[in-house]
Structure formats: structure tokens, C-alpha cells
Chain A
Amino acid sequence: MSAEPLIELVDVHKRYRAVHALAGVSLSVMPGETLGIVGESGCGKSTIARLVMGLEKPSGGELRFRGEPYPRSPRRLRQIRRRVGIVFQDPYDSLDPRFTLEHLVDEPLRAHGLPRGRARIQELLTSVGMENADLDSYPGQYSGGQRQRIGIARALALEPDVIVCDEPTSALDVSVQAQILNLLLTLQRERGLAYLFISHDLEVVRRMSDRLAVIYAGTIVEEGAAPLITSAPSHPYTRALLDAVPATRPSERHVSEPRVLPEPLGAERTACLFAPRCPRRAKRCLTDVPQLRSHDDRLVACHFPLQGGDQAGSETAAPSSSASFQA
């Protein structure tokens, strides 16, 4: 495995009018690894997906593919799109119902001038567990899970180095989600694929990822090895996300939330944007933007990071913590 990242974001900013959707995000995806991105709706995770796909251009900073900056010309950007696949969230909306399976899987091959033919299409469908599918059938004849397999076959057609998975199982039934996630794991093992795996489901991201980046309001607040971050989070926001995951048995009921709403995106970045919801906030959090820095084998952007996975708002909390996640 080479030490050069496949995908790199260097201090990337993205503004949509007044909204500062990404405010200086730096991250990298290495060959064969999964970088998980987790955060709430509106945090900027789908913006990262669109930038990495080359569907949008950053307002500041730079994206690189294998060390080379993303080209500005649409023609040369196509070459990057060949190497970067995508699996969409909604398998109902992402397949045109008027096209046959053959047409749908052939489409990327045709667009990029790659070897075509029914045998190749059959091979791609076999690799996603659809070996018995009729090439002349339509997506409407298939369940959500099968449609997502067709979507994955389309992504695989270009033999990409990395696939952006944007909430790939959120629209599926629980019992079917596991099948699709297992398929993604198998394909990664067999083909050495890298994934940029985006989800709001912390448990799924934890299981799928080597490394994890937690995004809040357009910035990375914590990044590091997935098992470390999910077992002993340093950022109070990561802790809050973990605490919000429902219990697996009624005797472990715990969820509750402070009745405080997040700051709107586009707020002046003169403070920690998580401070209004943070149980550990102190004066400094309202005047100083915390920078992402090394702490306890990971990166964290917090003036008062948690130590050894302690509970937010516990006795080791920063001075003048004034709210609590626990009711």
C-alpha cells in the first residue's frame, strides 16, 4: 500500500450564499481504507461528497487526487470521476425506471468508452449478488436492497479506486441494510477499494470504517481511529452523538437531550459553534475558535477535551459547565 493518499482535502471551504457549509476541512482517504464521516443533517457531510465527486468546486482550499490538484477543466475532471465512484442514498430515485438493467449498468461503460457487452454487464451484476437478474428487466421489478445492488454494480463498472457511499443504507429496511453493508465489505476486501463512507448512523459508520471524522457545523471536531473515537471520545459532541444512540434493551434506557437548539449555520465563527449545546462550555469557548490539534492519539477541536472517555458533564468537566446531557 502506498503512503500517498488517494483523495486529499486541504483546508477546503464551501459557501452557499450566507451559509458557510464547510469551513476549513482537511482530510485524506488512503488506498484500501474506509474513512467514515459522521454528523447531523446540515453539518456539511454531503457537501464533502459532492466536492470529492467533482460535482462542485470548493470556494477555497484544494482537493487532490493521488497528489495532483483536481483539474478545473470539465474534460479532465471526467478522468477523476472515472476513478471516484458513488453509491447514492436512495435506490428508488437514483435509477431511471424507463431503462432496462442492461442499459443502466452499460451507461457508465458507454460514457467513459470502456469495453462493453452483455458478458461484462452480467459479470458486474454477479459481483453484487444479482447473477440471476434478467438484463431486460426494469428497476421497478426489484426491491430496495436489489436496486441498491444495481447502483453498486454501476459504481463498480468503472473500476474506481474509491467509492463515495452517501448514506447507502438509510433508505433500506433494517434486515436488508446488513446485506448491503456486507456486500460493501466483501467488495473492499476483494478489490482493495477505498470508501468515503458518509452516514448519520454512528453504529454503522463505526463498523464500516478504519478511521472516522466527526463533523459539526462544517468543521471536523474529532478525527482518528474508529474504535478509539467511538469507545473513548474526546470531543463532547462525539460523546453526545454516542449518548443519543438508542439502547439495545429497555433496562438500558438513557436517551435525553438538553432543550437547546444548534446555532444556525452561517453564524460568525468567533467561538466554538458547539458551545451552545455543550455541557462543558466555559468562557473561552465563547471567544476562541478551537483548532483541530493532536490529543490522545487523535485530532480534536475542543478547548476542554474529555479524558479517557469520561462522561460529558461529569465531575472532571471544565469549569462552569452549565447544562447536562443526562436528565
Chain B
Amino acid sequence: MTATLRSSGLAVTDLHVHYGERHAVRGVSFAVARGQTLAIVGESGCGKSSTALAVSRLLPVGATTEGSAVVGDLDISSATGDELRNARGRVVAYMPQDAMAALNPVQSAGRQIAEVLRLRRGVDRGQAAAGAVDLLEDVGINEPDAVARRYAHELSGGMRQRVMLAIALAARPQVLIADEPTTALDVTVQAGILALVRELVVADQMALVWITHDIGVVAEIADTVAIMYGGLIVEQGPVETIFEHPAHPYTQALVQSPRDSRHAPPKAAFNAIPGSPPLGDFPSGCPFHPRCPAALKVCPQTMAATVELEPGHVCACHLTSAPA
């Protein structure tokens, strides 16, 4: 981890999350520089949302963590209550998937944005109200004045998600953790949000962590990609490398199936990975081995070490780490 990265972006080192007996995240490390987007990709139960919540210090009571998540001088994982309150929104902001559940139903959209501006940027009421309207305009909302006065139930799904984005951006966070923010949206609306986020990451020099199960979204917005399976990062690297030279069989299946699909005739069988992602107990050794088309004898026994294949591209798979 370089010093510049530590001082400006997010660096997560050997992060573990336990829910009682269940070891949901089993040591993940990644870094994102400011002005860059890291996509964390995986299916349900892989630990991607637990990772997002741990980095935001929003895990439910009873969950325990190990490892560190550092932004500048602050280790979020060990920050005290005051440090954390001070950091929320400004250092790390979290944007959830379900905007309907996250927005306050009895406060207008503008008031919820203005609250962040008052508390985190210290501006007065009048400035905050005007700032809220400006932010709504920044996130691509037409007639921001009118939308600022509306309540969550009066907004479409895409507008709600844009309001959530405006709230997350209000305190100009150094790091934004977005957990599947476009999953519930129509593709046309998603496209608008993705284009907007791409612009804002560069303009505001945020470090963005985008959690998703949708590999297509990753192709659109990520600079770097971490593929999670069974509580582990199984492959990580620059977006071009992950899409053009994936090393892990799981990554290969993820990036190849939509590509094959585009050329498949109607009613032709879909490429399917057999089985389903593990929920609860992870399989022994490499957690992907029961579904892996290329599993070796060693795969059910031990997890492969994470090996750097080329600078910035790491993979944890016996097929790539063992000499052929």
C-alpha cells in the first residue's frame, strides 16, 4: 500500500466479519484511490454487503470485525464514537440499495439533504435549503425546486435513488460506499445514474466502492474490480484485465456469459454455472470447488494462496498458483 493511497483513498487490510459463529467475511484486502471506482462483485451470501457495512461501521449489533479500514489518518474500524460521528458523511458515506426504506417518509427530500449540509458543512438554514436544490440539480433532477418539496412516496424509484445520492454527496465524502444502488431500477434509469456517478467520481475526487452482483454495471463504471465468493476475494485487478484476461474460473464464467449471450440465438440454452452460491456454511478449501468446472484434488482441502499474477492483478486459485 503506497503512502499516497493511504493518505487520500481507502485502504482495507485483512478485514474479517463474524456474526456469532458465522464467519461471513474471511480476510479481504483492497484499496481505492480518490477519483477511482472499485467494484466489489459477487452473489448473495458472498460477503460483499458485510464488507460494505464493516467499512462504513454500520454492521448490526453482535457482529464483530477484525482488520483495518483506513482513510487518511483515520482507522474507521477502531474509531471512537466521536471520531466516527465526525467522520460520517465527510470521510465515509454509505448509500444503501433500498432508497424507499432509507429515506425518512415524513421529511421532504430537500430537508433531508439540507440536514446533512447543516450538520456536516456547518451552513445556515437558508444556505442549506438552497444547497439542497443545487445538489438535486447536480444529480440530474429536472425541476429541483419542486422535487425538494416532495416526500419519498411522491418520487419514482430513480428519483429516490438520485435523492439518496444527493444526500450521500452533500458532505463531499472522501469515500463513498454504494451497496447495489441501481439494482432495483430500470435499465434506462440505471444508465442515467451510472453516467452521473462516473462524472461525479472524477469531479469530486471521491474514492467510490460500488457493490454489485451485475457484471454489466462493472464494465460500465469500474476502474478496478474485486470478485468475491464465499467470504473471500478470489480475484482482483484493473477492470480491463478482469474482463479481458480473467484468471479465476468463477470470474471467467461471470464475464463470459453475458458476452456469449449477446450472440446466442433465441431459445438456445443459457450457460449456467451448476449449483447455487453457498449460504451459511462455506464449503471447505476453496469455497467455489463444488461448482468449479476445473476443480483439482487439492481444491476441497485447502484454499489457494492469493498470488500476484502481474502488478495489481491478484488471484486465489490452485489452477493459477500451482505450476502447470
Interface residues of A (CB under 8 A from B): 34, 40-42, 143-146, 173-179, 181-182, 185, 200-203, 206-210, 226-227, 240-241, 243-253, 255-257, 259-261, 327
B157 within 8 A of A: yes
Residues of B within 8 A of A260 (CB): 142
Chain B residue at smallest Cβ distance from A209: B266
Bound complex: CA A256 to CA B220 (Å): 10
Given contacts A246-B220, A248-B259, A257-B195, contact A175 B276 (CB under 8 A): yes
Answer whether residue B44 sits at the interface, using C-beta atoms and an 8 A cutoff. yes
B108 within 8 A of A: no
Say whether A176 contacts B276, CB under 8 Å: yes
In the complex, whether B159 has a CB less than 8 A from a CB of chain A is yes
User: B216: which of A146, A241, A246, A259 is its contact (CB, 8 Å)?
Assistant: A246
Q: Are B240 and A244 in contact (CB under 8 A)?
A: no
Q: Report Cα–Cα, A244/B158, bound state, in Å.
A: 14
With the chains together, A182 CA to B255 CA distance in Å? 19
Decide: B187 and A200 in contact? CB cutoff 8 A: yes
List 14 A-B residue pairs with CB atoms under 8 Å apart, sorted by A's residue number: A40-B189, A176-B277, A202-B187, A207-B267, A207-B268, A244-B191, A246-B191, A246-B217, A247-B219, A248-B216, A249-B243, A250-B240, A250-B243, A256-B192
Instruction: Write out the residue numbers on chain B whose beta carbons fall within 8 Å of the beta carbon of A173.
Output: 43-44, 213, 276-277
Asked if A175 and B266 sit within 8 Å, CB to CB, the answer is no
Query: Are the C-beta atoms of B195 and A182 separated by less than 8 Å?
Result: no
Q: How many chain-B residues does the 8 Å CB contact rule pick out? A: 53
Taking CB atoms, residues of chain A closer than 8 Å to B157 are 41
Q: Take A207-B264, A246-B217, A247-B220 as given contacts and tell me if A40 and B188 are in contact as well, using a CB distance cutoff of 8 Å.
A: yes
CB contacts (< 8 Å) of B140 on chain A: these are: 259
Minimum CB distance partner of B41 in chain A: A174
Find B269's partner among A185, A206, A255, A327 (CB 8 Å cutoff): A185
- Rounded to whole Å, the gap between the CB of A249 and the closest CB of chain B is 5
CB-CB nearest in chain A for B239: A250
Q: In the complex, what residues of A have CB within 8 A of residue B266's CB?
A: 206-210, 226-227
Q: What are the residues of chain A within 8 A of B215 when measuring CB–CB?
A: 174
Within the complex, the shortest CB–CB distance from A65 to chain B, in Å, comes to 25
Q: Across the interface, do B258 and A203 meet the contact criterion of CB distance under 8 Å?
A: yes
- The 8 Å CB contact of B213, one of A41, A174, A182, is A174
0/1 string, B10-43, CB within 8 A of A gives 1: 0000000000000000000000000000000001
Q: A261 with B195: in contact, given A226-B266, A249-B243, A250-B243 (CB under 8 Å)?
A: no
CB-CB < 8 A to B141: which residues of A?
Answer: 259
Please, how many angstroms separate the alpha-carbon atoms of A243 and B194 in the complex?
Answer: 13
B320 adjacent to chain A (CB < 8 Å):
no
B216–A256 CB distance below 8 A: no
Q: By DSSP majority rule, is chain B's interface helix, strand, loop, or mixed?
A: helix
For A243, the chain B residues whose CB sits under 8 A away are 191
Nearest to A41 among chain B residues (CB) is: B186
- Residue contact B219 to A241, C-beta cutoff 8 Å: no
With A203-B258, A256-B192 known as contacts, the answer to whether A175 contacts B43 (CB < 8 A) is: yes
- In the complex, chain A residues whose CB is within 8 Å of the CB of B214: 174, 246
Q: Known interface pairs A174-B43, A202-B187. Does A261 touch B219 (Cβ–Cβ under 8 Å)? A: no
User: Chain A's nearest CB lies how many Å from the CB of B148?
Assistant: 15
Residues 184-224 of B contacting A (Cβ, < 8 Å): 186-192, 194-195, 213-217, 219-220, 222
A residues near B189, Cβ cutoff 8 Å: 40, 257
Do the beta carbons of A182 and B276 come within 8 Å of each other?
A: no
The answer to the question of B254 belonging to the interface, with a C-beta cut-off of 8 Å to chain A, is yes
> What's the Cα separation between A69 and B293 when bound, in Å?
51
- A34 / chain B contacts, CB cutoff of 8 Å: 267
B188 A203 Cβ-Cβ under 8 A: no
Q: Mark B265-279, 1 if CB is under 8 A from A, else 0.
A: 111111111101101
**Set of chain A residues within 8 Å of B222, measured between Cβ atoms:** 250
Bound form: Cα–Cα A143–B45 in Å: 11
* Contact across chains for B272 and A178 when beta carbons are under 8 A apart: yes
Q: Is B262 on the interface with A (CB-CB < 8 A)?
A: yes
CA distance A175 to B270 in the complex (A): 10
Which residues in B have their C-beta under 8 angstroms from that of A42? Answer: 156
Inter-chain contacts of A255 with B (CB < 8 A): 190-191, 194-195, 220
Q: Are A182 and B272 in contact (CB under 8 A)?
A: yes
Interface string of B39-66 (1 = CB under 8 A from A): 0000110000000000000000000000
Tell me whether B123 is interfacial, beta carbon within 8 Å: no
B residues in contact with A249, CB < 8 Å = 219, 243-244, 255, 259
For residue B257, CB closer than 8 A to chain A, the reply is yes
Checking B239, B258, B267, B268 against A248 with a beta-carbon cut-off of 8 angstroms, the contacting residue is B258
**Which residues of chain A come closer than 8 Å to B107, judged between CB atoms?**
none
Flag if B276 contacts A253 (CB, 8 Å): no
Check B188 against A257 for contact (C-beta < 8 Å): yes
B270–A181 touching, CB < 8 Å: yes
Write the chain A residue with the least CB distance to B217.
A246
Q: Are B273 and A178 in contact (CB under 8 A)?
A: yes
Residue of A nearest to B291 (CB): A175
| Distance of A278 Cα from B186 Cα, bound (Å) | 17
Task: Give CA–CA (A104, B231) in the complex, Å.
Answer: 34
The residue in chain B whose Cβ has the minimal distance to the Cβ of A210 is: B266
CB neighbours of B252 from chain A (8 A): none
Distance (whole angstroms) from the CB of B149 to the closest CB of chain A: 16
Cα separation A143 to B273 with both chains bound (whole Å): 15
Interface residues of B in 231-265 (CB under 8 A from A): 239-240, 243-244, 253-255, 257-259, 261-262, 264-265
How far, in angstroms, from A243 to B192 measured CA to CA in the complex? 11
CB distance from B152 to the nearest CB of A (A): 16
